[in-house]
Amino acid sequence: MINIITHDKLSTCDLIIDALYQGDSQGKGYISEEPISKILRCGNRGGFRYSGSISDKLNYVVLFTTLRDINWPDTIDKHRGHFTYYGDNKQPGKLLHDKKGNKILMKIFEYLHTGKREYIPPIFIFLHSPTAHDVIFLGVAVPGAKGLSSMEDLVAVWKTHEEGRFQNYKATFTILDIPQVSREWINELYTGNTTGVASPEVWKTWVKKGIYHPLISENILIYRKRNEQLPVSADDLKILDAIISKFKDDPVKFERCSIELACLMDEKFRNAELTRPVRDGGRDAVGKYMIGIEETNTMVDYALEAKCYSINSAVGVKGTSRLISRLKHRQFGLLVTTSYVHEQAYKEIVEDGHPIIIISGGDILNILKKKGYTTTDLVEKWIDTLFN
């Protein structure tokens, strides 16, 4: 059961991972109802909020996200403890650093890359709850991640709008393994003391040594249900419907598209070839997956099966068994569908340990959005380029 902190306790409460913090129960849409400014004494609107001075010293920073903006797809990777966040220059007519949020990103990543971690404030991540002004606390983050270079953790990306081109930041953070932020530490931070007696050890270790201890959580569900495999927003469903319309009468083209989706998901998918429809032995394509680096690697065989179904038509046991039965020794499978895998079929794959990667309708959209194909028009243009 979710932990709920009521509005009247916000100014004295601790911050607990995945707890919900309520806005004012009046629910009239007033900005004064939002809870973040009551918890942390910062601004009450926008994706970037902070305490302190951008030009001098920041006490802490708040990043607020909905995770639902298709043009700026903020994401949280709970398996690695990573959080990807886009800056606030989201319209043409402004330079990259004209917005306060992007100035904050530039500053904290500059401190990271020059080893001045003691000047970096803790970053509190909040998620907008679907209900009113309520928010969910996602954790304390720091810039960068283990294994990411200074060329990868903060990247300026170009976007095109009907009014022109412009740049915005894409930033990668690590959410630290700090399950609870005490009110004592919040009070210390507000005075400018980021490493006081109440600060968590994981935070102090990162400040002193630069060692990341990410908050990593494994999914306790052994399989994904229908609603976890399909998109929920109207915009995403529209994009998925457009994909289905493109391929519903030509399954061979969807097989080719599925190969391209695999390569978008992971560039180490290589050398895929479609099998002949009459003699494919249950596989629509076969290919190689590279393990290692270009200079020294080994190739592993994989088999791909593609199913262009409507979102109300599940891939059942018959469809998955067809691929499973054809997998050879030391080979894995890739099942790509615009729909979802039925509960029974999904359970059998997971419980029997079959080496099959499932890419459902929702996964397809996530892959495309991460590569910048965030609208129906952009996705349709991408599809058209595959067959020109």
Q: Last residue of some domain: 162, 183, 209?
A: 209
Query: Within this chain, do residues 164 and 241 fall inside the same structural domain, yes or no?
Result: no
Phi-psi sector, 242: left (phi>0), alpha (psi -120 to 50), beta? alpha
Q: Going by C-beta distance under 8 Å and a sequence separation of 6 or more, which residues neighbour residue 336? A: 258, 261, 262, 304, 305, 306, 307, 359, 364
Angstrom CA distances, 125 to 153, 198, 229, 362, stand at 17, 20, 25, 24
Query: Within this chain, do residues 381 and 235 fall inside the same structural domain, yes or no?
Result: yes
Tokens matching residue 258: 């599925």
Please give the tally of structural domains in the chain: 2
* pLDDT tens per residue across all 388 residues of the chain: 789 999 999 999 999 999 999 987 655 555 667 899 999 999 888 899 999 999 889 999 999 999 988 888 899 999 999 999 999 999 888 899 999 999 999 999 999 999 999 999 999 999 998 767 899 999 999 999 999 999 999 999 998 877 788 999 999 999 999 999 999 999 999 999 999 999 999 999 999 999 999 999 876 667 899 999 999 888 899 999 999 999 988 988 999 999 999 999 999 998 888 886 544 444 588 999 999 988 899 999 999 999 999 999 999 999 899 899 888 888 999 999 999 999 999 999 998 889 999 999 999 999 998 888 989 999 999 999 988 7
Domain for residue 135, yes or no? Answer: yes
Give me the CATH number covering residue 177. Answer: 2.30.280.20
Q: What's the pTM value of the predicted model, to 2 decimals?
A: 0.77
Domain for residue 159, yes or no? Answer: yes
Query: Within this chain, do residues 38 and 155 fall inside the same structural domain, yes or no?
Result: yes
Residue 327 has phi, psi (to 5 degrees) of: -70, 135
Q: Last residue of some domain: 209, 241, 263?
A: 209
Which H/E stretch holds residue 250? none
Closest C-alpha among 90, 4, 8 to residue 46? 90
Q: Which domain holds residue 203?
A: 4-209
Query: Within this chain, do residues 203 and 230 fall inside the same structural domain, yes or no?
Result: no
Distance CA 205, CA 139 (A): 17
Domain for residue 214, yes or no? Answer: no
Q: What is the pLDDT of residue 213?
A: 97
Domain for residue 218, yes or no? Answer: no
Q: What is the pLDDT of residue 29?
A: 54
Domain for residue 217, yes or no? Answer: no
Tokens matching residue 309: 């179904």
Terminal Cα distance for the chain, rounded? 52
Give me the CATH number covering residue 317. Answer: 3.40.1350.10
Q: Last residue of some domain: 183, 209, 235?
A: 209
Tokens matching residue 229: 């495999």
Query: Within this chain, do residues 120 and 232 fall inside the same structural domain, yes or no?
Result: no
Task: Tell me if 281 sits within 8 A of 331, measured CB to CB.
Answer: no
Query: Within this chain, do residues 342 and 202 fall inside the same structural domain, yes or no?
Result: no
Q: Is 357 helix (H, G, I), strand (E, B) or coil?
A: strand
Query: Within this chain, do residues 272 and 376 fall inside the same structural domain, yes or no?
Result: yes
Task: Tell me if 322 sits within 8 A of 282, measured CB to CB.
Answer: yes
| Dihedral sign from CA coordinates of 138, 144, 147, 151 | positive
Domain for residue 219, yes or no? Answer: no
Query: Within this chain, do residues 24 and 106 fall inside the same structural domain, yes or no?
Result: yes
Domain for residue 110, yes or no? Answer: yes
Query: Within this chain, do residues 370 and 231 fall inside the same structural domain, yes or no?
Result: yes
Closest C-alpha among 141, 60, 54 to residue 106? 54
